[in-house]
């Protein structure tokens, strides 16, 4: 067998069913990587720095010698780790396993580990152009004219559960807030896992998009361009703003009750900190009142202030589209109930 170099499309197709090994340094991987790739760094961050310095200040040959010093003692452990990761069954010999390997540009790091794994008996494919080629592919996904359909509604309308209600009805969805680990509002990061890097968010989003062709209706929530610290890529954002919006219109008090149940038991100090972040836009007096209601164990009145604020800003953004009268389809509902509202929505999209 011999190591084969393949392009990004073939690489991602094989990655659906085969093990992907990312041999970049731990910090490179931690910042962003191909979703589901396993980290197996050829060098630690410090070793990579030493090799890189040798390459720049001494010569390519000296850098390779330093690299071999680091690589040699790791060879057996790397083979055993790949063997363990790739093992499908006790009866299947490792020689039938296909392994995909990449580094940053498809150079010496992936070349070294691919050589080792090929020598041991794996069928090895490396990514032409490395992770950089994958990033270029990812950015291209956001330029495609996908057929987005937007689920709109004021804060507290239960839009995220509605998305999953559509999914149960065999509709294509992408949960942007789930990918971003943030629910969108000032309170949206409370109780969530840390947000990924912007680059990792884009990688996750690109892999979601590629699951669908450009004619398939894909349902997304109506978001501002920023979700916490994440930015929806500009080309995709413009596409979303030109897409049909199914706006589920639910009475204020119903949404307020829903928000109070959803957020009312969160840690007070975290809620106060979140409210302080929007102080300039909320205004000094309303900020003070919202915080005082929280401290007095009256979250409902605190959220009433916040909900009025978000309704005002959401409505402004809703109609700040070209031809909003053609793009916004209002759907009335009296309750925040996912089963009822999914049925209402399904009757309007068929």
Q: Would you state the pLDDT for residue 58? A: 85
Q: What is the mean pLDDT of residues 211-227?
A: 95
Backbone φ/ψ region at 90: left (φ over 0), alpha (ψ -120 to 50), beta:
alpha
Q: Is 39 a catalytic residue?
A: no
Percent of the chain with pLDDT over 70: 97
Handedness of CA 189, 193, 194, 195 (dihedral sign): negative
Q: What length does the chain have?
A: 350
Cα separation, 130 vs 128, in Å, equals: 5
Tell me if 183 sits within 8 A of 275, measured CB to CB.
Answer: no
pLDDT bucket at 158, cuts 50 / 70 / 90 = very high
Q: What is the mean pLDDT of residues 300-319?
A: 92
Q: Burial, 210: exposed, middle or buried (Cβ in 10 Å; 0-12, 13-18, 19+)?
A: middle
Tokens of 175: 């949960």
SS3 call for 231: strand
* Residues whose CB is less than 8 angstroms from the CB of residue 215 and which lie 6 or more positions away in sequence, other chains included: 147
Domains of the chain: 4-138 (3.40.250.10), 145-349 (3.40.50)
Catalytic residue among 103, 173, 205, 291: 103
Lowest mean pLDDT: which of 3-7, 266-270, 285-289?
A: 266-270
Predicted confidence (pLDDT) per residue in 92-132, tens digit: 444 458 999 999 987 889 999 999 999 999 999 999 999 99
Tell me if 94 sits within 8 A of 86, measured CB to CB.
Answer: yes
Q: Would you state the pLDDT for residue 88? A: 52
Task: Quote the crossing angle between the two packed helices 299-319 and 252-263, to the nearest 10°.
Answer: 120
């Amino acid at each position: 067998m011999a190591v084969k170099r393949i392009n990004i499309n073939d690489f991602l197709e094989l990655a659906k069913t085969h093990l992907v090994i990312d041999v970049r340094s731990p910090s490179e991987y931690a910042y962003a990587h191909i979703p589901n790739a396993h980290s197996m760094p050829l060098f630690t961050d410090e070793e990579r720095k030493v090799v890189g310095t040798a390459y720049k200040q001494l010569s390519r040959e000296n850098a390779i010698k330093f690299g071999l010093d680091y690589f040699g003692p790791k060879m057996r452990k790397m083979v055993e780790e790949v063997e363990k990761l790739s093992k499908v069954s006790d009866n299947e010999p490792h020689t039938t396993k296909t392994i995909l390997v990449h580094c940053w540009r498809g150079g010496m790091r992936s070349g070294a580990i691919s050589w080792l794994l090929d020598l041991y008996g794996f069928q090895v494919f490396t990514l032409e152009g490395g992770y950089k080629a994958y990033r270029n592919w990812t950015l291209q996904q956001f330029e495609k004219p996908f057929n987005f359909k937007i689920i709109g509604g004021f804060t507290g309308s239960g839009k995220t559960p509605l998305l999953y209600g559509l999914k149960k009805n065999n509709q294509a969805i992408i949960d942007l807030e789930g990918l971003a680990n943030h629910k969108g509002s000032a309170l949206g990061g409370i109780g969530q896992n840390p947000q990924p890097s912007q680059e990792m968010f884009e990688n996750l989003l690109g892999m979601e998009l590629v699951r669908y062709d450009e004619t398939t209706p894909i349902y997304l929530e109506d978001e501002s361009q920023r979700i916490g610290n994440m930015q929806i890529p500009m080309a995709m954002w413009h596409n979303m703003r030109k897409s049909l919006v199914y706006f589920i219109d639910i009475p204020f008090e119903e949404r307020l009750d829903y928000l109070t149940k959803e957020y009312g038991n969160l840690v007070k100090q975290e809620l106060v900190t979140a409210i302080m972040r929007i102080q300039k836009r909320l205004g000094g007096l309303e900020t003070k009142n919202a915080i005082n209601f929280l401290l007095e164990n009256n979250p409902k009145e605190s959220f009433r202030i916040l909900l009025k604020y978000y309704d005002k800003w959401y409505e402004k953004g809703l109609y700040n589209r070209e031809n909003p009268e053609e793009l916004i389809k209002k759907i009335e509902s009296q309750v925040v109930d996912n089963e009822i509202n999914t049925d209402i929505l399904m009757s309007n999209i068929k």
